[in-house]
Structure 1
């Protein structure tokens, strides 16, 4: 009986090609949209994870600015300033630190020959290159000698190198930052765009002491970055760092911190949770089209019951039972769901690949998303086919035979 029902369902679909296509279209678009949207969500999640992992999940980012006595939060960089001495104290007094660096940054106009460019100039220490996984394509990185001598040397990103020195290798050449001459000692390997769309190659690194004393005229640092030996001890390191800074800044027991410590492991956890929520939201929005497709199945099955009323009467007169008629129409609706779901999977995978190649967005095609979408499409066919199938099975054979 099941094989016969499947054969009849396929014959009915073939005999009404346009109607079948329009019915399938709702399921195809619904399943395809679910897979494409979920793939985008998983791609976003992997992108966030990758970018934060590049920074390191074992990092602490310390900035000045905490809460005032009234509870209001100060903006980053406000309030009591962090200093280079704070960085050194943390490095000496806290166990479990692999590397530590401090930095300041500001945008400046740069000139080389007849070329000019505006970029972010970051004053930092040599250990920043290890923490940030920065490698030179040509030349060298900054060293302790540059830091001690407040040398006018710079390591530039690929974007800056291409903009200021289009004619060739900039290593050893002079560029002016805010009218002051700096010698280019290294060019970094390209890192491309960051997670927020920022060009990571559009940057110039100079010694921290040079930026503080010769460029900005400040004694504080804007940020201290601590790299723990591993992410398992990151919370212990954070607690020790906070204690050292509270002691140095003479913060009384119970008073609010005048600094903020950002834990990259916690940031990653928060960002991943946000990405998961976005993925669920995208999937739910796309699932609405599946619901619309299910309503389309119900509509067509009701039309089919009406058209085949006389046929149902004949089948019942020949001995077909309630369950026989019910199974026939349920199988027809499920066949529509299965075929539509299969074609929808192909559409979803194709759409994900096209979006990835044309828009440059990361997409990750999940096997589970495909399985769930197909099961859901079959379930939609079954659910929305129950009412029409039951209506057909309950028809009185005498009334059905009289139907014109």
Structure 2
């Protein structure tokens, strides 16, 4: 029997039971669309997190000296460390959270950061209006401040505030610049902050201790080299007591984040893949029912000369066609869900063509594998017994 004839008969059988065929495909459709969407969400989250980390700079290293008993780092030590290979620049910082600020007749609380002029370059901070802190501000301990747009809106109801005066913990400061939108949420918002000169802050808190600083490696490939010299410096200063300090490496953070996202995506895809297997079991059950319903038909075909491989091929084509059509519908639903999520629910779903192809091929394989048993059973029917079947 010609392959085209077998193909026509297989499709005729599927179309003659439209509702049953559609219900059989349902598991495949759900499985394929779930895999595509979940993997897409994982990839979208991965890219979003990577983008946020890269905005801070993948060559950024943050160091915090922990514990009040541990001696602080001096400016001269940082200057010496700055000369090491792989290190481009260093910015010492002083931070205080939940400080009281006032502008006009409005008050609020925010986070204060104090540093040197190179802080803005190292942290990739851009100015929307005004200017950043300059060396002259440090030398003269000027009471000047660069603020985030959240602070500007809360105190003045506008971002056009350069030249205005605000109070920080009871001291008057002149606003010299407003940062561009940094993003973030809650207490981690990059827009809810005040940055002042390091020397001014040290005078206010009556301490010159440097207990945190940022290091900018020469480039992404120099991070490990910079980390090596930093580790050597801290080990010598604190007698190899690693509990005296904490080091945050943006590159390591990015790698850890990617690994976590990949693990979560794999797990979710595996769960979604289970529905494909369930769909395959559904195909096998329906094909077994079909074999029973068409037992006499199989007997007649065998009696007039149909070979075993013809019967086997027909049922395998039926099973493969059901899973294939279900796979195509699942892909279409996956793309539709991704479009809706990206455009109406502010989700980040990035669909990979490779994932779509693998998911579709897997659905075909599931249909063929689970269709093999009923197809084999149908091909082995004895024509005499099949003709007697009622």
Bucket of the pairwise TM-score, normalised by the shorter protein: over 0.9
Return closer, same or farther for 1:274/1:87 CA change in 2, 3 Å cut-off: farther
Q: Counterpart in 1 of 2:195?
A: 205
Q: CA deviation at 1:81?
A: 4.3
Q: Any idea what the Cα deviations from partners look like across 1:108-163, whole Å, max 9, x if unmatched?
A: 23221232322221112211110111111110111112222222211111222122
Among candidates 74, 82, 104, match of residue 72 of structure 2: 82
Q: Which moved more, 1:228-237 or 1:311-320?
A: 228-237
Asked if 1:229 corresponds to 2:230, the answer is no
Q: CA deviation at 1:37?
A: 0.4
Q: Unmatched 5+ residue regions in structure 2?
A: none
Contact 1:93 1:244 in 2 (8 A): no
Contact 1:87 1:102 in 2 (8 A): no
Asked if 1:239 corresponds to 2:225, the answer is no
Among candidates 291, 315, 318, match of residue 329 of structure 1: 315
Among candidates 243, 246, 257, match of residue 271 of structure 1: 257
Normalised by the length of structure 2, the TM-score is 0.93
Q: Any idea what the Cα deviations from partners look like across 1:194-231, whole Å, max 9, x if unmatched?
A: 7x9942212211112222331x4443234211111112
Q: CA deviation at 1:48?
A: 2.3
> What value does the CA root-mean-square deviation take over the aligned residues?
2.1
Alignment coverage as a number of residue pairs: 388
Return closer, same or farther for 1:369/1:16 CA change in 2, 3 Å cut-off: same
Contact 2:82 2:90 in 1 (8 A): no
Q: CA deviation at 1:315?
A: 0.7
Among candidates 116, 131, 137, match of residue 140 of structure 1: 131
Q: Counterpart in 2 of 1:280?
A: 266
Asked if 1:258 corresponds to 2:251, the answer is no
Q: Counterpart in 2 of 1:41?
A: 42
- Rounded to whole Å, the distance in 2 between the matches of 1:197 and 1:183 is 24
Normalised by the length of structure 1, the TM-score is 0.90
Q: CA deviation at 1:84?
A: 4.5
- Rounded to whole Å, the distance in 1 between the matches of 2:138 and 2:114 is 10
Contact 1:238 1:261 in 2 (8 A): no
Q: Counterpart in 1 of 2:87?
A: 97
- Rounded to whole Å, the distance in 2 between the matches of 1:48 and 1:87 is 34
Q: Counterpart in 1 of 2:17?
A: 16
Among candidates 370, 379, 384, match of residue 384 of structure 1: 370
Q: CA deviation at 1:293?
A: 1.1
- Rounded to whole Å, the distance in 2 between the matches of 1:224 and 1:183 is 25
- Rounded to whole Å, the distance in 1 between the matches of 2:385 and 2:290 is 17
- Rounded to whole Å, the distance in 1 between the matches of 2:27 and 2:256 is 36
Q: Counterpart in 2 of 1:358?
A: 344
- Rounded to whole Å, the distance in 1 between the matches of 2:379 and 2:69 is 78
- Rounded to whole Å, the distance in 2 between the matches of 1:371 and 1:255 is 52
- Rounded to whole Å, the distance in 2 between the matches of 1:21 and 1:259 is 62
Q: Counterpart in 2 of 1:169?
A: 160
- Rounded to whole Å, the distance in 2 between the matches of 1:147 and 1:48 is 35
Q: Counterpart in 2 of 1:220?
A: 209
Q: CA deviation at 1:308?
A: 0.8
Q: Any idea what the Cα deviations from partners look like across 1:269-291, whole Å, max 9, x if unmatched?
A: 22222222122112111111111
Asked if 1:315 corresponds to 2:301, the answer is yes
Q: Any idea what the Cα deviations from partners look like across 1:282-320, whole Å, max 9, x if unmatched?
A: 211111111111111111111111111111111111111
- Rounded to whole Å, the distance in 1 between the matches of 2:74 and 2:141 is 14
Return closer, same or farther for 1:40/1:186 CA change in 2, 3 Å cut-off: same
- Rounded to whole Å, the distance in 1 between the matches of 2:63 and 2:246 is 6
Q: CA deviation at 1:403?
A: 1.4
Q: Counterpart in 2 of 1:70?
A: none
